[in-house]
Structure 1
Amino acid sequence: MNSYCKILTILLFSSFLIFSGCTEKEIPKKVSLNKKVPEPARKISEVEENTLYFGFDLRLGPKEDVKIYSSLLRYLEDVTGYRFRIRFSERYEDTVDNLGNGITHFAAIGPLSFVIGRERNGIKCMVSGLNGEKKPEYHAVIFTRPGSRIENVGDLKGKTFAFGARYSTQGHLIPRKMLEDAGITLKELKHHVFTGFHSNTVRAVLNGEFDAGGMQDKLAGSLEKEGKIRIIKVSEPFPSSLICYNTGVDDSIVEAVRSALLDLSPAGDHKDMLVDWNKTEMPEGFTPVNESDYEVISILATKYGLSGNEAKD
């Protein structure tokens, strides 16, 4: 009996040790299969040979924009022979910082992002977008819901207003100037918000959260035709969005990409290669940049505290 008890005691003690070891070292961790691990940022000197990273300012929404720019990059790959990869950033300021710091080689950015990046990091631009009239310019609009009693911009004093991203030209800079031209400063609005991108602004206004909003003219025109919004005012023309590059990119690569972009014919030979390109602010392709056109943007950026290092605030 004593021998049996000793053996039983030893077995129980051994089981306890094994169990204790498992509980301390082998507890399974919960892993989400849907969670994406962010790709570590690497500078230009560290990327794979013949791979070029492309960023963009968020406009319509993440899924829509990735689809649009992926088709452009396929065109560039076919023409230049280089491999392109998208590096997505949700915030405008991250997109321009990535470009300036050499994490991306190229980026499609708005005029405000361009003047900020030029001031802070010395980025350069190769082409600007052409609108439906083949002009390197675009507009912003102020809009409201159908049935709203708001008839003109002056009626927005004391009302609520939705901007897009803080560093968006069409979603903030131009609509803010339009409000001020009508005698309305931000302090004279009841409340204002930055929604992040144009589609969010539309939803905020249509859901009744805000009385009116500012956004890009292309999407606004389509939505008004569908009866979903009512445009109160269209801005004067401003210089269009651009495709810019980090100064560390080899000159031969810059010229190859520039040439391919200038040869792009979105409504002609390359129509079938592109996806929803007509929804962008550059539906007719690109033209060489005239940087002097962007001085008006620089002046407004300084006025509103958005230029240079102030964009970090």
Structure 2
Amino acid sequence: MSRLAAQLGVAVLATGLTILPVTAQADLTLTFGTYAADKPTDTVRKYRPFLNFLAERMSAELGETVTIKMKIAKEYEAGIDQLASGEVDFARFGPASYVLAMKQNADVQLVTMESKKGSKRFKGVIVVHEDSDLQSVEQLTGRSFAFGDELSTIGRYLAQSHLLEAGISGAELQDFAYLGRHDLVGEAVGAGRFSAGALKESTYKKLVTKGVPIRVLMSFDNVTKPWLASANVSPRVVEAMRRVMLASENEEIVRQISKNGFLEGTDADYDFVRQAMTRSNLF
């Protein structure tokens, strides 16, 4: 009987023959997905400590052991597809990728937004070589431009929106190309391969520290990154994740991901990105 009970996953009471089902809770394994906006090795190094922290805190919240795996997509589109289809359970995306994921699956869940000194905005930049004669975006007519990924908020949609506001479409540029990662854009401009390029401010600062000869031509607002859960993740798990990320007592490890922690967000926070994406169709 004991061997049979073990095989069937049941417990036999010592005082009789009553058989009860075992009620032990199964462990929870989640897969975190993102795409490599910078070098993949840097992406892993950046996220792993925070994901370990998140798993530990969620385990306490849920009363079961939570394990978090990572899946890094090489391209934005693959990362978006993985979240929309439920291949990954949660993700950190750029704003445009969130908008595109919602188009694929309207049940994608917004968990939190990153905070920048208590704000939901941060900066993107258009850069030129430090020795460039360019002093304004309007002077880019007839010059070359490096964009990031074709689905990048800063690296494409917002940059193209601001170029259009300055009267410059793709036809007015001598040449333009999509280079993928933000660091590749900055390095290409620093090497003189393009007259200007668009990248996030934090990557610009890292490149300057490394000695890449670039300077800011203009900066512009972007909304902070959303953390998202797939439609397949239960509300109970999403709420536990949200409570951990919004907790005021979060340690220094959280600030390695989001310098000032996290904020509650709504879909409407991303409306101005939707508008820029629509405008960029005219580029």
Please give the range of the TM-score, normalised by the shorter of the 2 chains. Answer: 0.7 to 0.9
Hey, what's the Cα distance between the residues in 2 that align with 1:65 and 1:72? 12
- Normalised TM-score (structure 2): 0.82
- Normalised TM-score (structure 1): 0.75
Hey, what's the Cα distance between the residues in 1 that align with 2:73 and 2:235? 26
Is 1:116 aligned with 2:116? no
Deviation at 1:174, TM superposition (A): 1.2
Hey, what's the Cα distance between the residues in 1 that align with 2:71 and 2:248? 22
Query: Considering only aligned residues, what root-mean-square deviation do their CA atoms show, in Å?
Result: 2.0
| 1:126 aligned to which of 111, 116, 120 | 111
Q: Secondary structure at the match of 2:72?
A: coil
Contact 2:28 / 2:67 at 8 angstroms: preserved in 1?
Answer: yes
Of Structure 1 and Structure 2, the greater strand share is in 2
Q: Tell me the amino acid that sits aligned with residue 103 of structure 2.
A: E
1:238-283 deviation digits (Å, cap 9, x = unpaired): 3211100111101111111111111266xxx522x36x82xx6x32
Match in the other structure for 2:135: 151
| 1:59 aligned to which of 28, 31, 37 | 37
Q: Tell me the amino acid that sits aligned with residue 229 of structure 2.
A: Y
- Relative to 1, partners in 2 of residues 1:216 and 1:115: Cα closer, same or farther, differing over 3 Å? same
1:148-202 deviation digits (Å, cap 9, x = unpaired): 1111111111111101111111111111112111111111111111111101111
Q: Tell me the amino acid that sits aligned with residue 63 of structure 1.
A: T
| 2:219 aligned to which of 218, 226, 234 | 234
Contact 1:165 / 1:195 at 8 angstroms: preserved in 2?
Answer: yes
Is 1:293 aligned with 2:269? yes
- Counterparts of 1:9-88 in structure 2, within 5 Å, are 50-81=28-59, 82-88=66-72
In structure 2, runs of 5+ residues without a counterpart are: 1-25, 60-65
| 1:270 aligned to which of 225, 247, 251 | 251
| 2:197 aligned to which of 213, 216, 221 | 213
Q: Tell me the amino acid that sits aligned with residue 302 of structure 1.
A: T
Match in the other structure for 1:163: 147
Contact 2:158 / 2:277 at 8 angstroms: preserved in 1?
Answer: no
Contact 1:129 / 1:137 at 8 angstroms: preserved in 2?
Answer: no
Match in the other structure for 1:5: none
Contact 2:183 / 2:207 at 8 angstroms: preserved in 1?
Answer: no
Hey, what's the Cα distance between the residues in 2 that align with 1:94 and 1:244? 15
Paired residues, what number? 249
Hey, what's the Cα distance between the residues in 2 that align with 1:184 and 1:86? 40
Contact 1:205 / 1:213 at 8 angstroms: preserved in 2?
Answer: yes
Q: Tell me the amino acid that sits aligned with residue 75 of structure 1.
A: F
Contact 2:154 / 2:222 at 8 angstroms: preserved in 1?
Answer: no
Contact 1:224 / 1:231 at 8 angstroms: preserved in 2?
Answer: no
Hey, what's the Cα distance between the residues in 1 that align with 2:81 and 2:281? 17
Hey, what's the Cα distance between the residues in 1 that align with 2:91 and 2:204? 24
Is 1:246 aligned with 2:230? yes
Hey, what's the Cα distance between the residues in 1 that align with 2:168 and 2:229? 37
Contact 1:152 / 1:232 at 8 angstroms: preserved in 2?
Answer: yes
